[in-house]
């Protein structure tokens, strides 16, 4: 059912479990997982500006993700993207790769005392070309 | 363990690319590119009309029209250049590919001057429009200039921190802007347009030939958006197709709206009134002269708010444009690396933002003494942009000669064949006319001559020192120095 799964990762504690879940879903159909880490570039810089600290951070996140996928014996491909905004970049990546599922991991976040999803998740939910599964870590275990 | 091994001289030169995966995600389509370009061009009508009227008087519509023809040639050149080289940098990138690093630097440095003056001039014209709400904004030079400097300072701070600005805001502002301008043109034609009055006003206040040419040069200020659209090529989907299409759409929109507004302005008021009372806020002047009270009540505050917003966006666009350009030039080792230094926390090029904002504020300072800096700023802008346009035309011609087989998804028509090479006539006309006007401005306008040439010479000096120091450094790096004992 889900032969190609896109997992946007952001270095949150939920990443490892999300990748594990994506691998298990993909393995059922002999599918493949793509993990992307998006570096958001401010408008005062050209889109191809190489901010080493940010790219290094993104690569570290993807290295961890690759380790988890290896443990699960799952085929994974990782990529760093540079974009102005994270949400449109994820949706665009999903369209371009023609994925059958976007699996996103989220952590429990509060904004002014209220549970908040941020801006990326609602954008992806609204504009995704394929089904989206949200995975939230257990609040208690966190 | 590896840390214990002393570095060898050869180690310095073998640096495999550490970043193995690195992709750009381009998400902008034709509407976003068009709106970014029109956001700039559309904003310039809010001051270009008045600045042209100061020298061209009755011939203001003619000056804008002739500049419009030049704009078509320039837009075609940019369309081919951007389709061929879809990078950030616009004419600076074309020049670098066509003529090498030094030409790339000169074109980029000239562009930086235009961006700085765009920041100053846009900020300078915001207070007069806001004068509808509080008159001292328009009438007091101290309050007006203080506000303009404050606006640049505010935007500098905001950009150093780094704001999130979505293209949605730009698209919305552009749609509202176009609708208001079209409404003004339609209402103006119905209520104000009178061909015989217009004809007499044009004839009675026809300028001297010299002033007409300066007016045409100043009118190029109305067409700043070409460069902005070209700069956005790097974040546009299929830039080789989208950018030329957006450019062609803008040619039509701009020529129609600018022709309409310039004709109505001279139907609404005399050229003298346009050049004195309403020179900094000509669109507010048109709204002020509308004969129907109800429309006037609605349009005057709307134009005040809209012009203020659009000009604020244009000031910010200038600041963003220059910081991106400086970063891009820094990446190609054309300017000192300090200009492309990124803030550790905010991830913004804070040095270039602060430096260029301060220069823009300095340009505004004579305004405190009530001195008329409006025309000077306009000519200074034209000096920078015409030089950049000249480089763009020359580069497109040179690339046709040097690299005729380069893929060109958009190719300008009307070519002549010389020694088996296809050369675009429009680029030649654009190059000659831009060059002619540029030389004339240098001869006739002392402020712009000295400030403009000073900027270019100062830049070249910095460039040569920087390149020389890099050359020296790279030679030093090859030398194997004796080990210290």
Which of B19, B25, B348 is nearest residue A45 as measured by Cβ atoms? Answer: B348
Kindly list the residues from chain B whose CB atom is less than 8 angstroms away from the CB atom of residue A86: none
Residue B445 pLDDT exceeds 90? no
- Nearest CA among B125, B13, B126 for reference residue B378: B125
Which residues of chain B does A84 touch, with a Cβ-Cβ cutoff of 8 Å?
Answer: 27, 235
Model pLDDT, residue B5: 45
Nearest to B27 among A43, A62, A89 (CB): A89
Nearest by CB to B25, from A44, A49, A93: name it.
A93
Return the residue matching tokens 């197709």: B241
Measure CB to CB from residue A84 to each of B235, B344, B348 and give the nearest one.
B235
C-alpha B38/C-alpha A98 separation (Å) is: 34
Do the chains contact at A44 and B22, CB–CB below 8 Å? no
| Mean predicted confidence (pLDDT) in B111-135 | 92
Instruction: Please tell me the predicted confidence (pLDDT) of residue B484.
Output: 56
Mean pLDDT of the region B426-446: 91
Buried b (16+ CB within 10 A) or exposed e, B365-376: ebbeeeeebbbb
- Contact list in B for residue A85 (CB cut-off 8 A) is 27, 164, 166
- Residue B188 predicted with pLDDT over 60: yes
Q: Which of A9, A36, A43, A82 to mutate to test the interface with B (most CBs of B within 10 A)?
A: A43
Of B23, B88, B159, the CB nearest to A44: B159
User: Rounded to whole angstroms, how far apart are CA atoms B462 and A81?
Assistant: 35
Does B10 score more than 60 pLDDT? no
Q: Is the pLDDT of residue B21 over 50?
A: no
Report the pLDDT averaged over residues B423-450. 91
ipTM of the complex model: 0.70
Q: Regarding the domain with residue range A4-136, which homologous superfamily does it belong to in the CATH classification?
A: HUPs (3.40.50.620)
Is B323 within 8 Å of A51 when comparing Cβ atoms?
Answer: no
- Per-residue pLDDT, averaged over B449-466, amounts to 92
Task: Report the candidate in B211, B470, B166 with the shortest Cα–Cα distance to residue B336.
Answer: B470
Q: Return the structure tokens found at A13.
A: 């504690």
- Of chain B, the end-to-end C-alpha distance in Å amounts to 23
Residue B12 has pLDDT above 50, yes or no: no
Task: Place B19 in a pLDDT band, splitting at 50, 70 and 90.
Answer: very low
Average pLDDT of span B413-420: 85
From the CA of B226, how many Å to the nearest CA of chain A? 17
Distances (CA, A) of B357 to B36, B117, B273, B313, B323: 21, 10, 32, 15, 10
Has residue B363 got a pLDDT over 90? Answer: yes
Measured at the CA of B363, the angle between CA B358 and CA B369, to 5 degrees, comes to 120
pLDDT recorded at residue B475? 57
> What is the pLDDT, as a whole number, of residue B474?
60
The 10s digit of each residue's pLDDT in B323-350 is 888 888 888 888 888 888 888 888 888 9
Size of interface A-B (CB pairs under 8 A): 86
pLDDT at B168: 63
For residue B49, the model assigns a pLDDT of 87
What pLDDT does residue B458 have?
94
Give the residues of chain A that fall short of pLDDT 70: 139-142
Q: By mean pLDDT, which of B208-222, B387-401, B470-484 is the weakest?
A: B470-484
Average confidence (pLDDT) over B12-16: 31
Tens-digit pLDDT profile for residues B52-81? 888 888 899 899 888 888 888 998 999 899
- Of A121-130, B352-361, B364-373, B476-485, the range with the lowest mean pLDDT is B476-485
pLDDT tens track for A110-128: 888 888 888 899 999 999 9
CA distance A138 to chain B (A): 31
Mean pLDDT for chain B? 83
To probe the interface with A, which of B25, B326, B352 has the most A CB atoms within 10 Å? B25
The pLDDT of residue B23 is above 70: no
- How far apart are alpha carbons B125 and B141 in whole angstroms? 12
Say whether B25 and A48 touch across the interface (CB within 8 A). no
Q: Average pLDDT, stretch B354-360?
A: 95
For residue B310, count CB atoms less than 10 angstroms from its CB and return exposed for 0-12, middle for 13-18, buried for 19 or more.
Answer: buried
10 Å Cβ neighbour count for B7?
7
Exposed/middle/buried for B331, CB within 10 Å: 0-12, 13-18, 19+? middle
- Whether the per-residue pLDDT at B477 is higher than 60: the answer is no
What average pLDDT does range B202-211 have in this prediction?
89
Report chain B residues whose CB lies below 8 A from the CB of A89.
25, 27
Residues paired with residue A37 on neighbouring β-strands, in sequence order: A80
**pLDDT of B461:** 93
Confidence of residue B164 (pLDDT cuts 50, 70, 90): low
List the single residue in A with minimal CA-CA distance to B322. Answer: A44
In this complex, the residue of B25, B164, B327 whose CB is nearest that of residue A49 is B327
Contact A46 B344 (CB under 8 A): no
3-state secondary structure B208-241: CHHHHHHHHHHHHHHHCHHHHHHHHHHHECCHHH
Sign of CA dihedral B160, B163, B168, B171: negative
| Range B439-467 average pLDDT | 91
Is B27 within 8 Å of A48 when comparing Cβ atoms?
no
Percentage of chain B exceeding pLDDT 70: 89
Mean pLDDT of B454-479: 81
Q: Report the percent of chain B where pLDDT is more than 90.
A: 25
Note if the pTM is more than 0.95: no
- State residue B85's pLDDT score: 86
A11-20, B38-47, B224-233, B400-409: segment of lowest average pLDDT: B224-233
Domain B27-405+418-476 has CATH 1.20.1740.10: yes
Tell whether the model's pLDDT for residue B18 goes beyond 70. Answer: no
């Amino acid at each position: 059912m889900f032969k190609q799964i896109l997992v946007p990762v952001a270095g949150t504690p939920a990443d490892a479990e999300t990748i594990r879940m994506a691998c298990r879903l993909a393995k059922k159909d002999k599918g493949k997982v793509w993990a992307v880490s998006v570096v958001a570039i401010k408008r005062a810089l050209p889109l191809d500006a190489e901010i080493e600290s940010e790219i290094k951070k993104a690569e570290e996140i993807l290295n961890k993700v690759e380790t988890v996928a290896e443990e699960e014996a799952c085929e994974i491909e990782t990529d760093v993207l540079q974009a102005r905004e994270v949400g449109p970049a994820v949706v665009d990546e999903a369209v371009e790769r023609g994925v059958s599922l976007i699996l996103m991991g989220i952590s429990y976040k509060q904004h002014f005392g209220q549970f908040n999803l941020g801006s990326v998740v609602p954008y992806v939910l609204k504009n995704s070309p394929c089904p989206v599964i949200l995975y939230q870590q257990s609040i208690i275990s966190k | 363990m590896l840390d214990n091994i002393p570095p060898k001289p050869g180690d310095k030169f073998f640096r495999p690319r550490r970043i193995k995966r690195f992709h750009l995600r381009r998400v902008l389509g034709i509407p976003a590119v068009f709106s970014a370009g029109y956001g700039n061009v559309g904003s310039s009508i809010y001051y270009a009309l008045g600045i042209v009227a100061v020298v061209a008087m009755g011939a203001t519509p003619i000056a804008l029209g002739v500049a419009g023809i030049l704009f078509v040639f320039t837009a075609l050149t940019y369309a081919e250049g951007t389709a061929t080289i879809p990078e950030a940098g616009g004419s600076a990138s074309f020049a670098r590919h066509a003529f090498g690093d030094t030409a790339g630097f000169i074109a980029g440095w000239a562009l930086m001057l235009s961006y700085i003056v765009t920041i100053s001039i846009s900020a300078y014209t915001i207070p007069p429009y806001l004068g509808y709400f509080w008159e001292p904004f328009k009438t007091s030079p101290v309050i007006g200039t203080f506000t303009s400097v404050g606006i640049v300072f505010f935007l500098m701070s905001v950009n150093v921190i780094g704001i999130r600005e979505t293209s949605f805001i730009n698209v919305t502002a552009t749609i509202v802007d176009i609708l208001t301008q079209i409404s003004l043109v339609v209402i103006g034609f119905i209520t104000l347009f009178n061909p015989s009055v217009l004809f007499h006003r044009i004839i009675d206040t026809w300028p001297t030939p010299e002033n007409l040419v300066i007016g045409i040069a100043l009118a190029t200020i109305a067409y700043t958006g070409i460069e902005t659209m070209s700069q956005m090529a790097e974040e546009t989907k299929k830039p080789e197709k989208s950018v030329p299409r957006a450019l062609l759409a803008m040619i039509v929109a701009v020529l129609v709206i600018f022709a309409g507004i310039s004709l109505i302005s001279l139907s609404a008021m005399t050229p003298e009134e346009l050049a004195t009372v309403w020179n900094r806020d000509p669109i507010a002047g048109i709204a002020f002269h509308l004969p129907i009270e109800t429309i006037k009540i609605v349009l005057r505050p709307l134009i005040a708010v809209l012009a203020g917003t659009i000009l604020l966006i244009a000031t910010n666009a200038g600041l963003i444009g220059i910081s991106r350009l400086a970063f891009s030039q820094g990446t190609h080792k054309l300017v000192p690396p300090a200009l492309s230094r990124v803030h550790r926390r905010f991830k913004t090029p804070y040095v270039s933002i602060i430096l260029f904002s301060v220069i823009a504020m300095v340009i505004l300072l004579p305004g405190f003494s009530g001195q008329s800096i409006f025309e000077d700023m306009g000519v200074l802008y034209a000096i920078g942009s015409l030089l950049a346009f000249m480089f763009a035309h020359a580069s497109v011609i040179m690339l046709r000669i040097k690299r005729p087989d380069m893929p060109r998804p958009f190719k300008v028509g009307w070519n002549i064949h010389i020694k088996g090479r296809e050369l675009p006539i429009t680029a030649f006309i654009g190059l000659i006319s831009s060059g002619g006007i540029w030389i004339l401005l240098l001869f006739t306008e002392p402020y712009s001559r000295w400030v403009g040439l000073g900027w270019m010479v100062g830049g070249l000096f910095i460039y040569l020192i920087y390149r020389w120091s890099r050359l020296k450094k790279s030679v030093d790096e090859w030398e194997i120095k004796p080990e210290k004992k």
